[in-house]
Structure 1
Amino acid sequence: MSIDHLDVLAAAQRIAGQVRPVTLAPLDPGALGAATGVFALELMQHTGSFKARGALNFVGAHLEAGTLPESGVVIASGGNAGMANAWAARAHGVRATVFVPVTAPAVKVARLRTLGAEVHQVGAEYAEALDAAQRFASRTGALSSHAYDDPLIAAGAGTLLEEIVAARPDVGTVVVAVGGGGLFSGVAAAARPRGIRVVAVEPDGAQAMHAALDAGRVVDVPVASVAADSLGARRTSETALRLAQHADVRSVLVTDAAIVAARRHLWDERRLAVEHGAAAALAALESRAYVPEPGEKIAIVLCGANTDPADLAR
């Protein structure tokens, strides 16, 4: 699988008018030192995360091509990709089956069922849910979608950057959290021809891309992070690795403590209830895992809000 800017532009045309345009909110003056920036509030997207973009592009493209079977689509997910696929499938009158780990947050499982998906909880990690989803596809003929490793999914996610640049053409750096690499791949593919730097942020307990860069190939990594429900892929995609090897990409790691602090900061200062995975992008700046240059113009992507906010007020 590989994608480029043309794939992102095709996705933007396919999903136009069906997703919520991203809202940009300026950072407080001095928050990034001499740099300036905005939050890209993609947590306000349909189903509460950027995943709606890729899912809509995936379902729409297969409908156009006549390759969507009567048995519908099946996907394994920590929750967000499953919700997005269920939403996109429902929008087009298509059946959706979603496999999630037993550790998936209850709020995400409940939302999946509200969206009309048939939900199966299997295994403790995403990889186990993925194995079960693949067996289901082989047995039923359902079309397998993927949480991140699919060109249509990644290209759809990349439409986010198109909107950011349209609103703020001076942005020079985009900071994104990385799980398996779908959002990163789409954003990096759209950023490369513009010379925009992409900062790829992972928890140090779920560093699939960082480990792949160190090894020079995709490798399996252990997953143990507070953000594992959305950033807990055991391995990154080949496409994400190839894009991450470009000079305009920085891969950084953040601790769980930094993620928790950033999530709490967003609630205390902005009243934004985000999932831990979304807070990872801000954590990279607050913990100085990434230090902007003076005058650098940054967009920090807050990619999802599918969380239980009960612990935010503690």
Structure 2
Amino acid sequence: MVTPDDIRAAAERIRPWIRRTPVIRPGEGAFGLPFDLTLKLELFQHTGSFKPRGAFNNLLTRDVPAAGVAAASGGNHGAAVAYAAARLGYPATIFVPEISSPAKIAAIRAHGAELVVEGARYDDALARCEAHRAATGAIGVHAFDADETIAGQGTVALEWLEQAPDLDTLLVAVGGGGLIAGIAAFSAGSVRVVAVEPRDSRALQAALEAGGPVDVPVAGVAADSLGARNVGARVYAIAARHVAAAVTVSDEAILEARRRLWRDLRIVAEPGGATALAALVEGAYVPAADERVGVLVCGGNTDPATVAG
């Protein structure tokens, strides 16, 4: 299981390659909410999401063959792997499902990777990626259920708690769960970590209810980034021990949170990036009167024209 020391080592390893993203306090009353929130703006990371942290940690700790690297992704992970591979001089092949947004597909292509669009959902792209790896010898970079990925994503928590050490609770959106697993592994015992999932893509909540990873249906406005069918064993083991609660939110709340981020801060978040805030907008998570809450805005790969309406 990934430990805080693993995450500290990952932070030192990837430091030259990533941005230290800002934390802001928009003030009580922001977003129409009666809470004094702290936001970690990880959408300002390279490639528009937190994903380069895990991608760089993978490529800096593993031997990469001449065939390079391959990854399956809803979009953000693929862009991150393509970016990291390009910066480190490795060829990359990225497999995405048909639901991936044009903005994310364009980002992958912009970083020079070979792009393959395969199947309706993430699992379809993953199967095609595994076949490619078997045929070529390329190494895989898993989007969430790998120790190197989890440790890299956990560096978000290390940074965040340095920047805002007074927080009581962190709200984190969940797809496959690599991000929340890393955050929970680092911050367990110091803050409360709450998972926020779309109601139509709830792989982590279902796993916690079942006592282990299970397959779930995938749908909704955030499916391209939070649409994993199964969180996997590594993510589940950490979440079962260290995630305090898992809540779900409606598509309507996600879109409303996205509008409020634009209205109040002029931040353009993708639906998955606004999902953690949606828990407060919809009341799926209600803080105590004196609770100091942090919200992670984790991705911004979207068409800006879709935000304000």
Report the counterpart of residue 18 of structure 2 in structure 1: 19
State the Cα distance separating 1:108 from its structure 2 match: 1.0
Work out whether residues 195 and 243 of structure 2, in 8 Å CA contact, stay in contact via their aligned partners in 1: no
Find the residue that maps to 1:263 and give its secondary structure: helix
Q: Which one is further off, 304-313 or 219-228?
A: 304-313
Report the counterpart of residue 28 of structure 2 in structure 1: 29
Match of 2:158 among 162, 170, 179: 162
Report the counterpart of residue 194 of structure 2 in structure 1: 199
Work out whether residues 196 and 248 of structure 1, in 8 Å CA contact, stay in contact via their aligned partners in 2: no
Find the residue that maps to 1:269 and give its secondary structure: helix
Match of 1:97 among 93, 98, 122: 93
Return closer, same or farther for 1:248/1:152 CA change in 2, 3 Å cut-off. closer
2:184 is the alignment partner of 1:188: yes
Match of 1:229 among 213, 224, 231: 224
Residues 13-162 of structure 1 aligned to structure 2 (within 5 Å):
13-31=12-30, 35-62=35-62, 67-162=63-158
Q: How many residues align?
A: 308
Return closer, same or farther for 1:97/1:270 CA change in 2, 3 Å cut-off. same
Structure 2 residue identity aligned to 1:27: P
Find the residue that maps to 1:70 and give its secondary structure: coil
State the Cα distance separating 1:195 from its structure 2 match: 2.3
Return closer, same or farther for 1:201/1:89 CA change in 2, 3 Å cut-off. same
CA distance in 2, matches of 1:138, 1:177: 32
Deviations 1:258-303 (A, max 9, x none): 0011011111111111110011100001111011112211210000
Structure 1 residue identity aligned to 2:157: L
Q: Which one is further off, 25-34 or 76-85?
A: 25-34
Structure 1 residue identity aligned to 2:177: G
State the Cα distance separating 1:243 from its structure 2 match: 2.2
Deviations 1:46-95 (A, max 9, x none): 00000011101111111xxxx21110100000000000001110111001
CA distance in 1, matches of 2:207, 2:76: 24
Report the counterpart of residue 284 of structure 2 in structure 1: 289
CA distance in 2, matches of 1:248, 1:295: 21
Find the residue that maps to 1:285 and give its secondary structure: helix
Deviations 1:221-277 (A, max 9, x none): 001111000000001122222222236511000011100110111111111111100
Report the counterpart of residue 7 of structure 1 in structure 2: 6
Q: Which one is further off, 122-131 or 168-177?
A: 168-177
TM-score for the superposition, normalised by structure 1: 0.95
Q: Which one is further off, 68-77 or 236-245?
A: 236-245
State the Cα distance separating 1:110 from its structure 2 match: 1.3
Work out whether residues 176 and 184 of structure 1, in 8 Å CA contact, stay in contact via their aligned partners in 2: yes
Percent identity for Structure 1 against Structure 2: 45
Work out whether residues 36 and 295 of structure 1, in 8 Å CA contact, stay in contact via their aligned partners in 2: no
Find the residue that maps to 1:234 and give its secondary structure: coil
CA distance in 2, matches of 1:127, 1:51: 18
Work out whether residues 144 and 235 of structure 2, in 8 Å CA contact, stay in contact via their aligned partners in 1: no
Work out whether residues 28 and 35 of structure 2, in 8 Å CA contact, stay in contact via their aligned partners in 1: no
Q: Which one is further off, 16-25 or 246-255?
A: 246-255
State the Cα distance separating 1:28 from its structure 2 match: 2.3
Work out whether residues 34 and 295 of structure 1, in 8 Å CA contact, stay in contact via their aligned partners in 2: no
Work out whether residues 195 and 248 of structure 1, in 8 Å CA contact, stay in contact via their aligned partners in 2: no
